[in-house]
Amino acid sequence: MIKWSRFVLFLLVVAVLASLMVTTTNSTAKNITLGLDLKGGFEILYRVEPLEQGQTVTPELLKATAGMIDKRVNIGGVTEPEIVIEDPDRIRVKIAGVTDQEKMRELIGKPAVLTFRDETGKVVLRGSDLAPDGASVGFDEYTKEPVVILEFAEASKFAEITRQNIGKVLAIYLDEDVLYTPRVNEVIPNGQARISGGYTVEEAQELADILNSGALPANLVEMQATSVGASLGTMALQKTIYAGYVGGALIFLFMLFAYRMPGMIANITLAGFIYFCLVVIDWMNATLTLPGIAGFILAVGMAVDANIITYERIQEEIKSGKTILSAFRAGQRRSFITIIDAHVTTLIACAVLFYFGTSSIQGFAIILTMTIIVSIITNVFGSRFLLWLIIKANMFKKPFWYGVKESEIGEL
Amino acid sequence: MSSKPQDTTVKFDIVKNRRKFFMISGLILIIGLLSMAIFGLNLGVDFKAGTRLDVYIGKEFSTADVEAAIKSQVTDVSFKSVTKFGDQNAWATTTFDQTIDPDHLAAIEKVLQEKYGDQVSKQESTVNPEIARELALKAGIAILIASAGIIIYIAIRFQFLFGIATVIALLHDAFIPIAMFSILRLEVDLTFIAAILTIVGYSINDTIVIFDRIRENLRVMKVKTPEDLEHMVNVSLWQTMRRSIFTVLTVFFTALAIAILGSEGIRNFSLALIFGLISGTYSSIFIAAQVWVSLKKREMAKRRYTPSPQEG
């Protein structure tokens, strides 16, 4: 006798899942943060070295340096840089979606020590003598060229320096580069100096910003750098997603062909599995990288394994002459332990990867771990529930629906 | 009693032929070791220090032109001859012995953009020697610790002999992709380590499903003689054969799809996976279970001479 209530409940569950997926998949997928290998950008590992020999790198210095890097990245117009301090003396900077990477690297690594030197090369003034936010952009009255205006904290000090150097060149250095070599014509009493070097407005603004953010408290040495062009990242993403579609479609067809009705349910829960994984990735704020996607696609294959183990068991039980319902119960029970044993070993590997891996491998481990947990929920419990509803509905009683031929069933 | 192990048809006596399988694996092992001793591994910059430069050219190009562009900007550092890869050979790649300043790389890109158009784009990976050593060390430690953790778990859930057989299969499966990468001169980078660990996890998955069945049948069937043991393992293998093949097929579909259609960045990753999937499935059936049979037979023979009270 057909129990319509079970079947309706089954349809209801599938309909709710389907509508959830149709309405939210796109927005969820768009929300996911993509790694720099998928969106372009760069990752640099710096070693922080003290400015003067004999000094040690303290956690405070690291923090101050990281803070300074953050400020400078913001000058370059990037809003969400990832700056991580790695003990004992390293700072990892990840910036995604930057078009001019070289400029950004230069901006970050520049010590930005501003000095004024007299004709003998002696440093007479430093950037630290500037007033807070003392650098700004102005325009030359005559040439209308953009200039950088510097304002010193103590006007008297600057007046004194100019007095001593009248008629001489007072060179302005940024690090070891000469920015400008003005000749001092008169004593400047208002504490204002200007650098006019044929800048565009943007260049002048950038220089002013760097000067305002001050000098880096330490030297940065690039130890490891990875960069991916933005267009290359997008290309990698599209290709890999396409590969995922093809692989997924093959699995869907295979499961339908090999297991019929249960295969259909495996496909429904697999679609649910993929959807919930996306939701969890979004919800965890995890960054999806290329190895992460690969791990994810692989996890789809492994999630199906849970169904295969279970359905193979159920088929065996049907062949041994059991009713569909008791074959289902025995098959579920016997396969469950196997699935858990198999998953725990993969979780152990993930934990080790996470602990020892570098950032992109850690991403891979996190995503694989997450997929295993989601897989147990959807492809073990979810699939079990849906199959139970279908069997209880008494609509698909023939062994054919479970991929078993009548002739294969033995006598009990 | 659900499925009747006694009734399962054994289409091919796997256990009887186990020496042949041991020999096949031994042969691959020797070839792999030889290749690694002679050629070594083609280590990527992740483990060797230097700069790897990939340039997407996007159209027909000559490697000589790219080399000329590099030489025009970087004069004193030697680099591997430029090779083409990827879809329609649209990519050029090379590796420098030393780390290269980003400015020089940008200059190379500019020269190539002037020659081939604005679609030219580069990706770069630079590692200094200190970091390279650290990464290699960490990767080695990671594989050892992961293996140890898995062995401990199996020793607790199963028996010691199963643990040993699993470890042998595990080392087998980790080694085969490494040997294949050495023979085919494919580049070993960080993602390769991720691939090896995935394979280890997957291959153990596979082995455990088979061992689970052996453990179950060990309770159901009366195993008294070495012949009983061989028959029981044969039956267990054939009972799980469909599942073993189906599972490797589904994972294989996805790995193959990534290898053929996916981005160049993970091509080596998916190739390592494919080698590992094949060797993982092979070793679960033809090595792991067979090693266990050999060990168990030895244990049974010993017990016959010194019967222990707890033998059941």
pLDDT in tens, B63-99: 888 888 888 888 888 888 888 877 778 888 888 888 8
Is there a contact between A231 and B121 if contact means CB atoms under 8 Å apart? Answer: yes
Nearest to B2 among A316, A345, A351 (CB): A316
Please state which of the ranges A242-256, A296-310, B107-121 shows the lowest mean pLDDT: A296-310
Query: Residues near A240 by Cβ (< 8 Å), separated by ≥ 6?
Result: A290, A293, A294, A297, B258, B262, B263, B266
Confidence category of residue A269, pLDDT binned at 50, 70, 90? very high
pLDDT at position A37 over 70: yes
Residue of A nearest to B261 (CA): A243
Residue B273 forms contact with A (CB below 8 Å): yes
Question: What is the H or E stretch that residue A103 is in?
Answer: helix A101-109
pLDDT at position B34 over 90: yes
Is there a contact between B194 and A353 if contact means CB atoms under 8 Å apart? Answer: yes
Compare A381 and A229 and report the one with higher pLDDT: A381
Question: How far from the centroid of its chain's Cα atoms is residue A392's Cα?
Answer: 45
Residue B119 forms contact with A (CB below 8 Å): yes
Is there a contact between A316 and B239 if contact means CB atoms under 8 Å apart? Answer: yes
* pTM of the full structure: 0.74
Nearest to B258 among A240, A346, A410 (CB): A240
Confidence category of residue A267, pLDDT binned at 50, 70, 90? very high
In this prediction, residues B246-270 reach a mean pLDDT of 83
Compare B305 and B121 and report the one with higher pLDDT: B121
pLDDT in tens, B282-308: 999 999 999 999 999 888 888 776 655
Residue of B nearest to A331 (CA): B2
Q: Tell me the residue type at A315.
A: Q
* CA of B290 vs chain A CAs: smallest distance (Å): 20
CA atoms within 13 A on the CB side of B91: 17
Is there a contact between A225 and B157 if contact means CB atoms under 8 Å apart? Answer: no
For chains A and B, CB pairs below 8 A equal 224
pLDDT of res. B312: 39
Closest by CA to A221, choosing from A47, A398, A45, A44, is A47
Compare B194 and B157 and report the one with higher pLDDT: B157
pLDDT in tens, A98-143: 767 777 777 787 777 788 888 888 888 887 788 877 888 888 888 8
pLDDT of res. B307: 55
Residues 13-32 of chain B whose Cβ lies under 8 A from any Cβ of chain A: none
pLDDT of res. B309: 53
Q: Which residues of B touch A337 (CB under 8 A)?
A: 212
Q: How many other C-beta atoms are found inside a 10 Å radius of the C-beta of residue A246?
A: 18
In this prediction, residues A90-94 reach a mean pLDDT of 88
Quote the mean pLDDT of chain A: 83
pLDDT of res. A412: 52
- Asked whether A332 and A322 are in contact (CB, 8 A), the reply is no
Residue B251 forms contact with A (CB below 8 Å): yes
Question: Which tokens is A289 given?
Answer: 């990288």
Is there a contact between B197 and A352 if contact means CB atoms under 8 Å apart? Answer: yes
Q: Which residues of A touch B269 (CB under 8 A)?
A: 291, 294
β-strands B50-56, B83-85 pairing: unpaired
Confidence category of residue A296, pLDDT binned at 50, 70, 90? confident
pLDDT in tens, A165-196: 888 888 888 777 787 788 888 888 888 888 87
